[in-house]
């Protein structure tokens, strides 16, 4: 039995008997008598306890010889929030596998990014997730392939390479093994087909999901040329491993607790091999793996955050599609208003970003990459000289790999590396950890917006800030709830942190 340390077999079985959707994606149930594995909420008749085993990942169930249930589609679930809470090597590796690193760079490339030898990383992944990196990548490819088969008119050859398979034969064999059917069987008459050149997917999120609040935050931070938004949607450009792309997200509230909702994502990709990477980055952006019920339960009786959670259940921490971009934009925003920071960022995009062709009005450029910004004369940047030097120094560190924001390295090591750079202080480093690294437990005690929010709620900011350890391990969500109180209908963003240019 390969259950995680958090779940014993009896607890897992109780969740299966209750068909509790809250546990979808946290473990998987394999049934010996049928040879299939399911999500905990599968509507099929509950098997006997003696006939089931529990697995921490679809890859573990597949490695044990089970195929995916065609009724509940167990691979189409949000990921485990434990990966971001613990930020273990296995969790960091899973984020990179989902981004397609194994397909592009192999196991050696994955291990190098995480900071382990390939052999040691394989041992860690088998111990924690029940499968090695190749099996985990294979399971991810199979899931991507199934979604593309069922929702697009792409040819099977295009789907094979878009999902990351090295050959059509490998694609056919994997689909048959995992889903007990051919690609033709899966396609059938299911799903709404998209036109060739676009890929439409549904990103699973746990509920409650405060989609409108997330959209408002993203819309207020728009950088001209890179992002646009409208009622119920947000779109942006993507700088992907094999070429540029765009994504449009249709985002609404889904407030019924304990369900699985979906954010519709429409991708236009220069190279279909970037499908997995584009999907993973969109999932990061909407904080798709958050467990909002666990967050809500943690704050339920807190006198400060509890009422805010009740007013906006399912509030997410907006993530990112590119960690380097988040870091650069954070430095641009030091000691200026959000509107001012977006204007400056837009000017930099126009001057140094790469132009792309897009069918979405307003999406004209990719955000400038670190290598480009590292060569810019700080004196020419539209900001104070000290901040310009800090930005170019950061870009150089990102381009050289001294700082890596791909979620591979240990978070504490990344923070230390950031703080070693001139002009980067604790506020900037921690904000980058929250947005770029997906850290769920960041708090910014010196942030003026936090103190204004607490004072506006009638609390003593000094006393509350001194006692925020009680909010662990979800302090990033507490921070977002406080900032959310400052946001009117258009959702202005939080006040920026202290001056870190010295």
Backbone torsions φ then ψ of 308, nearest 5 degrees: -70, -40
State the Cα–Cα distance between residues 207 and 21, nearest whole angstrom: 10
Choosing from 82, 274, 322, 447, which is the catalytic residue?
A: 447
State the Cα–Cα distance between residues 301 and 297, nearest whole angstrom: 8
The answer to whether 42 is a known catalytic residue is no
- Give the relative orientation of helices 448-456 and 475-484 as an angle to the nearest 10 degrees: 70
State the Cα–Cα distance between residues 30 and 67, nearest whole angstrom: 9
- Cβ neighbour number for residue 462 with a 10 Å cutoff: 11
User: Taking the CA of residue 214 as centre, how many other CA atoms within 13 Å lie in the half-sphere pointing to its CB?
Assistant: 30
Q: Which residues pair with 200 in a beta bridge?
A: 266
Choosing from 12, 24, 38, 42, which is the catalytic residue?
A: 38
Element (H, E) at 205: strand 198-206
Which CA distances in Å does 392 have to 324, 346, 414, 480?
A: 12, 17, 18, 29
Residues in CB range of 320: below 8 A, 6 or more apart: 281, 284, 285, 326, 435, 436
State the Cα–Cα distance between residues 261 and 286, nearest whole angstrom: 12
Whether the upstream peptide bond of residue 473 has omega within 30° of 0, thus cis, is: yes
Q: What is the 3-state secondary structure (H, E, C) of 255-269?
A: CCCCCEEEEEEEEEE
Q: Which residues pair with 249 in a beta bridge?
A: 234, 265
Specify the 3-state DSSP secondary structure of 99: coil
Backbone torsions φ then ψ of 188, nearest 5 degrees: 40, -130
Specify the 3-state DSSP secondary structure of 296: helix
Identify which of 251, 241, 316 has the alpha carbon closest to the alpha carbon of residue 281.
241
The answer to whether 447 is a known catalytic residue is yes
Q: What is the dihedral of CA 400, 402, 406, 409, to 10 degrees?
A: 150
Identify which of 234, 149, 224 has the alpha carbon closest to the alpha carbon of residue 186.
149
Q: Which long-range contacts (CB under 8 A, 24 or more apart) does 371-374 make?
A: 371/395, 371/399, 373/328, 373/348, 374/398, 374/399
Q: Which long-range contacts (CB under 8 A, 24 or more apart) does 39-45 make?
A: 39/69, 39/72, 39/73, 39/74, 39/77, 40/12, 40/15, 40/16, 41/72, 41/260, 42/16, 42/69, 42/71, 42/72, 42/74, 43/19, 43/71, 43/72, 44/69, 44/71, 44/72
Q: Which residues are catalytic?
A: 38, 447
């Amino acid at each position: 039995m390969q259950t995680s340390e958090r779940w014993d077999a009896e607890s897992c079985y109780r969740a299966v008997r209750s068909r509790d959707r809250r546990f979808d994606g946290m473990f998987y149930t394999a049934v010996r008598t049928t040879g299939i594995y399911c999500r905990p909420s599968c509507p099929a008749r509950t098997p006997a306890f003696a006939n089931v085993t529990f697995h921490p990942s679809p890859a573990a169930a597949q490695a044990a010889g089970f195929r995916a249930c065609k009724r509940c589609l167990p691979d189409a679930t949000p990921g485990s929030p434990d990966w971001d809470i613990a930020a273990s090597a296995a969790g960091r590796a899973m984020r990179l596998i989902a981004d397609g690193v194994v397909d592009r760079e192999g196991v050696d490339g994955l291990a190098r990014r995480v900071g382990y030898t390939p052999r040691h990383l394989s041992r860690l992944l088998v111990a924690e997730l029940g499968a090695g990196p190749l099996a985990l990548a294979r399971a991810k490819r199979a899931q991507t392939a199934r979604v593309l088969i069922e929702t697009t008119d792409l040819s099977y050859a295009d789907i094979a390479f878009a999902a990351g398979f090295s050959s059509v034969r490998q694609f056919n064999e994997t689909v048959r093994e995992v889903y007990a059917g051919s690609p033709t069987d899966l396609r059938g008459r299911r799903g709404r087909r998209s036109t060739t050149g676009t890929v439409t997917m549904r990103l699973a999120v746990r509920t409650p999901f405060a989609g409108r609040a997330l959209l408002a935050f993203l819309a207020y931070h728009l950088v001209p040329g890179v992002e646009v938004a409208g009622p119920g949607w947000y779109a942006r450009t993507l700088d992907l491993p094999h070429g540029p792309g765009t994504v449009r997200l249709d985002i609404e509230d889904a407030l019924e607790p304990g369900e699985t909702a979906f954010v519709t994502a429409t991708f236009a990709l220069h190279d279909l091999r970037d499908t997995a990477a584009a999907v993973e980055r969109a999932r990061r952006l909407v904080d798709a793996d958050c467990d909002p019920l666990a967050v809500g339960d943690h704050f339920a009786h807190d006198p400060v955050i509890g009422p805010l959670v009740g007013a906006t259940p399912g509030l997410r921490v907006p993530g990112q599609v590119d960690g380097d971009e988040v870091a650069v934009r954070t430095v641009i925003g030091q000691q200026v208003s959000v509107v001012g920071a977006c204007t400056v960022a837009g000017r930099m995009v126009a001057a140094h970003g790469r132009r792309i062709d897009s069918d979405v009005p307003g999406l004209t450029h990719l955000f400038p990459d670190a290598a480009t910004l590292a060569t810019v004369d700080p004196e020419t940047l539209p900001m104070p000289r000290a901040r310009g030097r800090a930005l170019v120094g950061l870009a150089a560190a990102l381009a050289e790999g001294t700082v890596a924001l791909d979620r591979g390295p240990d978070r504490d090591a990344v923070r230390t590396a950031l703080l070693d750079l001139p002009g980067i202080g604790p506020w900037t480093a921690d904000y980058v950890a929250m947005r770029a690294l997906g850290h769920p437990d960041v708090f910014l005690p010196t942030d003026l917006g936090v103190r204004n929010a607490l004072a506006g709620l009638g609390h003593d900011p000094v006393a509350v800030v001194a006692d925020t350890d009680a909010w662990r391990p979800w302090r990033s969500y507490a921070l977002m709830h406080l900032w959310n109180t400052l946001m009117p209908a258009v959702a202005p963003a939080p006040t920026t942190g202290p001056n870190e240019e010295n």
